[in-house]
A and B are shown apart, each in its own frame.
Chain A
Amino acid sequence: MIALLRYQAALFLRSHRWLPPLLLYGGSMAVGVQSGQPVLDCAGWAAATLLPVTAWLVRVCVTNEPPAARDCTAAAAGPWRVHLAAVAVALGAALLLAVAGSGIVAAVGDPHTADRRAVVPMGSATAAGLVCAVACALLGTAVGALCNRPLLRSTAWAVPSTLLATVVVLFAGASPANAAVTGLVTGSRTGVVHVPLLPLAAAGALAAGAVATACALAARRT
């Protein structure tokens, strides 16, 4: 599995296909995270941005290998392991972005509430932002896993489905991502920092289920 992860990571890095999602992330961060803005608002924006970016990264990773090469790897290691390694590399990249984004937010964010009246403790605000970002990365992984190969094989279905699912997961009331981001934004108004551990756990469970489904189907359809 380690060798497989290294192989997938090498493919991912050398393909440079991570560049467009990275640019999306950078562009969105430039818009929503600016110097002097309330730190919790910035953290919420950064986390919400990470969700579609992660879904895109998953798409990059699971479609990176040409079919002939994938067949060779699948015969050697088993199709589900190959798929799991690809998704894991994407999640790893997204978690790196989550950490980097939280660092940027901590560096430029203003440690006050939105109305500048109360002070927001920087440490717990950053922690809450990081947890929220990780939850969004996990949900983005779930979206990416369910909206790409092996479940949706054609680009014509995969890309619109990913977009639609991203919107739904970000804005639906019951979604852990929505709960986590809303918690941050509310905290920015009230000055009470709430670390979204429950949404993180829910996101982890959903991601595990989605990835397990995709890996189980990896050998079913080609």
Chain B
Amino acid sequence: MRLTGVGRRYGFGGPWILRDLDLEIPEGSLLRVEGTNGSGKSTLLRLLAGIDAPSAGRITGRPRTAYVPERFPAALPMTAGAYLTRLGRIHGLSRAGAARGAQEWLERFGAGAYAGTPLSELSKGTSQKVAVAQGLMGAPGLLVLDEAWTGLDRASRGVLDEAVRERVAGGTRVVFVDHDPGRLAGEAYAVLRLGGRDRSAGAGDHSAGPGSRSAGSGDHSAGPGDHSAGSGNDSGGFGGLSAGSGNDSGGSGGLSASAGIDSAGSGNHSGGSGGLSAGHGAHSGGSGDLPGGPGNYPASPRNHSAPPAFEDTARSARNTTVHIVAEGPAGAELPHGLPGAAEPLGDGAVRLTVAGPQTDDTLRTLLTARPPWHIRSVTEAPHP
């Protein structure tokens, strides 16, 4: 499946939500789409799912597709089982296969008892299970999940994670957006990062490459400091936090990563080396727009030094005190609810002193704040 120069805007002469996006999604790939609110994540997912047609460019080779929305308050006048059976038929299953699939998937999500309940009477979470079951039962070639985990209970989120892994292993392309930066950590996935709407007016520069990641190894997908604007954010892998909440402005005018995705391929950033899988995938032209070029930026000094520091800290963080030096966007206040003590360092940065076990949560809060904070360093405090 390939996207060529894809753009989308609403109305004539409206602002471009997405522009000049080139993307290749091979079979069995898992793609995470990231970006701030309004950066076009949902729009991209709708384009990929074929719900929406691009205003510019082409999408070719789309296989049979299933889409799972974030909320499914579908007050349809039928029972959950009947709805799923009908959707299964639309997905191309036989009558018996659709009925069986409906029951199986509902049971797998612990909602088998609701097969005979009208959709309008289901709770929010159970409706979401129906939506997810709808997406999974048809064995699609492309599965698009727009924050599909939202509203599911913990067990069901696990079931969905597992189902996604099964599907990817079976060759399905899975594209997802999720606000939890740890979602599907442990899987090798590529990240497509979308810039903000305000920046989308420019030419399509390429701000992110793919990089298949394997979480837990403290990899990180984009180094912040190296991007000239400095508002880039760390997506550091710290312990379980494998987030890329990065907001690569990189000084480039545009959004739209042009990412060749190859989850099996190179680009495993442990130690900051070779992450950007230069050489494979479709960095179609213009990749030099990024200061230093994509091939270069994993090699920048900051990237070299940061990951090992993070990892070391992660290992020893359990029974120590940790200093986190973070730099916020201009004028931003520290997010509420941070543990420990904070002291300003004078140059806009703040040093937080927290207990080791609280480090993960603190970093998560900082990185997922809107706008996110930039983490300068995480170091173990000297023993008193």
Q: Give Cα A69 to B138, complex, Å.
A: 15
| A14 interface hit (Cβ, 8 Å) | yes
Asked if residues A75 and B50 are in contact (CB atoms below 8 Å), the reply is: yes
Most A CB contacts (10 A, CB to CB) among B52, B65, B87, B90 go to B90
Q: Chain B nearest CB: distance from A93 CB in Å?
A: 16
Q: Give Cα A4 to B88, complex, Å.
A: 10
CB contacts (< 8 Å) of B78 on chain A: these are: 10-11, 14
In residues 1-56 of chain A, which contact B (Cβ within 8 Å)? Answer: 3-4, 6-7, 10-11, 14-16
Determine the residue in chain A with the shortest Cβ distance to B135: A72
- Pick the interface stretch among B69-77, B162-170, B325-333: B69-77
Q: Give Cα A65 to B75, complex, Å.
A: 9
Q: Give Cα A73 to B91, complex, Å.
A: 9
| B51 interface hit (Cβ, 8 Å) | yes
CB contacts (< 8 Å) of B134 on chain A: these are: 72
- Would you give the 0/1 interface string for B67-95, flagging 1 where the beta carbon is closer than 8 Å to chain A? 11101111111100010001101110000
CB contacts (< 8 Å) of A10 on chain B: these are: 78, 82, 86
- Would you give the 0/1 interface string for A177-219, flagging 1 where the beta carbon is closer than 8 Å to chain B? 0000000000000000000000000000000000000000001
Q: Give Cα A37 to B2, complex, Å.
A: 65
Q: Chain B nearest CB: distance from A166 CB in Å?
A: 28
Interface of B is mostly: loop
Partner of A76, one of B46, B131, B138: B138
In residues 130-174 of chain B, which contact A (Cβ within 8 Å)? Answer: 131, 134-135, 138, 140, 144
CB contacts (< 8 Å) of A72 on chain B: these are: 66-69, 72, 87, 131, 134-135
CB contacts (< 8 Å) of B49 on chain A: these are: 71, 74-75
| B53 interface hit (Cβ, 8 Å) | yes
Asked if residues B74 and A3 are in contact (CB atoms below 8 Å), the reply is: no
Determine the residue in chain B with the shortest Cβ distance to A67: B69
| A154 interface hit (Cβ, 8 Å) | no
- Would you give the 0/1 interface string for B245-278, flagging 1 where the beta carbon is closer than 8 Å to chain A? 0000000000000000000000000000000000
Asked if residues B52 and A222 are in contact (CB atoms below 8 Å), the reply is: yes
CB contacts (< 8 Å) of A219 on chain B: these are: 50-53
Number of interface residues of B (CB under 8 A): 33
Determine the residue in chain B with the shortest Cβ distance to A69: B74
Q: Give Cα A218 to B144, complex, Å.
A: 20
- Would you give the 0/1 interface string for A57-88, flagging 1 where the beta carbon is closer than 8 Å to chain B? 00000000110110111111111000000000
CB contacts (< 8 Å) of B65 on chain A: these are: 75-76
Q: Chain A nearest CB: distance from B139 CB in Å?
A: 12
Interface of A is mostly: helix
Number of interface residues of A (CB under 8 A): 26
Determine the residue in chain B with the shortest Cβ distance to A14: B77
Q: Chain A nearest CB: distance from B185 CB in Å?
A: 26
Q: Give Cα A14 to B120, complex, Å.
A: 13
Determine the residue in chain B with the shortest Cβ distance to A221: B10
Q: Chain A nearest CB: distance from B243 CB in Å?
A: 27
Q: Give Cα A85 to B91, complex, Å.
A: 15
Partner of B74, one of A14, A66, A78: A66
Beyond A72-B131, A73-B87, whether A65 also contacts B50 by CB under 8 A is no
| A116 interface hit (Cβ, 8 Å) | no
CB contacts (< 8 Å) of B89 on chain A: these are: 3, 6-7
CB contacts (< 8 Å) of A73 on chain B: these are: 87, 90
Q: Chain B nearest CB: distance from A204 CB in Å?
A: 28
Asked if residues B51 and A222 are in contact (CB atoms below 8 Å), the reply is: yes
Determine the residue in chain A with the shortest Cβ distance to B74: A69
Partner of B72, one of A11, A15, A69, A79: A69
Asked if residues A68 and B90 are in contact (CB atoms below 8 Å), the reply is: no
Q: Give Cα A69 to B71, complex, Å.
A: 10
Q: Chain B nearest CB: distance from A62 CB in Å?
A: 15
Determine the residue in chain A with the shortest Cβ distance to B89: A3
Beyond A78-B50, A222-B52, whether A68 also contacts B69 by CB under 8 A is yes
Asked if residues B73 and A75 are in contact (CB atoms below 8 Å), the reply is: no
In residues 113-169 of chain A, which contact B (Cβ within 8 Å)? Answer: none
CB contacts (< 8 Å) of A14 on chain B: these are: 77-78
Q: Give Cα A14 to B87, complex, Å.
A: 16
CB contacts (< 8 Å) of B82 on chain A: these are: 10
Q: Chain B nearest CB: distance from A220 CB in Å?
A: 6
CB contacts (< 8 Å) of A222 on chain B: these are: 46, 51-52
CB contacts (< 8 Å) of A16 on chain B: these are: 77
Asked if residues B86 and A71 are in contact (CB atoms below 8 Å), the reply is: no
Partner of B51, one of A4, A6, A11, A79: A79
Determine the residue in chain B with the shortest Cβ distance to A3: B89
Q: Give Cα A47 to B135, complex, Å.
A: 44
A interface list, Cβ under 8 A from B:
3-4, 6-7, 10-11, 14-16, 65-66, 68-69, 71-79, 219-222
Pull 9 A–B residue pairs with CB atoms less than 8 Å apart, ordered by A. A3-B89, A3-B90, A4-B90, A15-B77, A16-B77, A68-B71, A75-B144, A79-B50, A221-B10
Q: Which 3 A-B pairs have the closest CB atoms?
A: A75-B67, A3-B89, A14-B77
A7-B89, A72-B72, A220-B52 are known; give 13 further A-B pairs, CB within 8 A: A4-B90, A7-B86, A10-B82, A11-B78, A14-B77, A68-B74, A68-B131, A69-B76, A72-B69, A73-B90, A74-B50, A75-B51, A76-B67
